[in-house]
Amino acid sequence: MSSIKDVAELAGVSIATVSRYLSDPESIRRDNREKVARAIQRTDYAPNALAQNFRRGRTGIIMVVLPSVGDPFFTEVMRGIAQVASERHYSILIRETEMNTLSLDEYSDIVLSKQADGIILLASTCPITPMRRRPKASRPAPIILGCENVTPDLGNLFSVRIDNRAAARKATRHLLELGHERIAFISGSAGSELTADRERGYVAAMKRAGKKIADGWIVPGQLTIDGARDATRALLQHPQAPTAIFCANDEMAMGCIHEIKQAGLRVPDDVSVIGFDDTRYAAITDPPLTTIAQPAELIGQRTMLRILDAVDGIDIGSEPEIVPHKLVLRASTGAPAS
């Protein structure tokens, strides 16, 4: 195996110059950069990432905390994270919160003892418990959000996400433009911040159109199929049963469609349904689901790039990076029955 000494000798530069090139290519002169790059190519030299990280006081690991590894939306986000991690020679440590039942002290230990260089929260709670104090001499690993914050205390952290409120307004306006007036909303958990902006967008669009939201038209669905089925049953039994239902994620929209069919009704002839996320199953539901598309893979890529910026000491601030969304029209929405 070639060594850093072999590279230095072939390039005609010092070992220190090669070392600086490996950690920060722009820190050396352009002619030396080109010599070292050619020498590395000719010798097939592969730097020892573990040794480099040790010298820099880093682990080469980013921890990703997410509610469920089986969620199709987060699967796409993780694909984007993994792509950038591979390109930047980082490893990913995935921790599943299982609906936030894991001990936060475990995450505190990881942050404070620098077992990971940074932490990405994907719709998960903060891994640092308020009662824990970090040693004065330590610099905690940076934490940023991919997607929405789930508690108000995370609002000051940098995030990469879509404009959920604007996206929900767009989804609701689509139903209004089709002629629907009785439009219900199935949210996440009651009081949860996760889908709060989507609910606010729905409410804003209804108010702007001059449409009343009846009591009982906003129902929690726990972001699950079963939760949405319970919510849909309640909506169909409502004295002013809705002609359209906006679900805060695609999984709930699928549960909603199933329950509508179980009631002997048709989608969209009797009830229109719209989802949120555009997961890989949305296009093959029966009927195919109209939904708001989030660029999940792009969110993963941008989140990973920004956490690595923070690890490198770059001030990324707290203002969110907003990525684009779009309304994808399919067969689950239509004009209300006359």
pLDDT over 50 at 132, yes or no: no
pLDDT of 284 strictly over 80: yes
pTM: 0.78
Q: Which residues contact 130 (CB under 8 A, 6 or more apart)?
A: none
Question: Are the C-beta atoms of residues 117 and 91 closer than 8 Å to each other?
Answer: no
Output the CA torsion sign for 181, 182, 186, 189: positive
Per the model's pLDDT, the better-predicted residue between 58 and 142 turns out to be 142
First vs last Cα of the chain: how many Å apart? Answer: 77
Condensed to tens digits (0 to 9), the pLDDT of residues 301-336 reads 999 999 999 998 899 998 999 999 999 999 999 999
The mean pLDDT value for 265-280 works out to: 97
**pLDDT digit string, tens, across residues 160-171:** 999 999 999 999
Check pLDDT > 60 for residue 32. Answer: yes
Backbone angles phi, psi at 49, to 5 degrees: -60, -35
pLDDT tens string 187-218: 998 877 889 999 999 999 999 999 999 999 99
| b/e burial code for range 263-274 (CB count within 10 A of at least 16 → b) | eeeebbebbbbb
pLDDT on residue 330: 98
Q: Report the chain's mean pLDDT, rounded to a whole number.
A: 87
| Highest-scoring range by mean pLDDT, 69-83, 97-111, 170-184 | 170-184
Distance CA 218, CA 205 (A): 14
**What band does 134 get if pLDDT is binned at 50, 70 and 90?**
very low
241 within 8 A of 218, measured Cβ to Cβ:
no
Task: Write the pLDDT tens digit of every residue in 213-232.
Answer: 999 999 999 999 999 999 99
Kindly report the backbone phi and psi dihedral angles of residue 331, in degrees, each rounded to the nearest multiple of 5, phi listed first.
Answer: -90, 0
* Residue predicted with more confidence, 100 or 209: 209
Please check the confidence at residue 47 and state whether its pLDDT lies above 90.
no
Ordered domains of the chain (ranges, CATH): 4-47 (no CATH), 57-162+296-322 (3.40.50.2300), 164-293 (3.40.50.2300)
- 242 preceded by cis ω (within 30°)? no
Task: With a cut of 80, say whether residue 175 has pLDDT above it.
Answer: yes
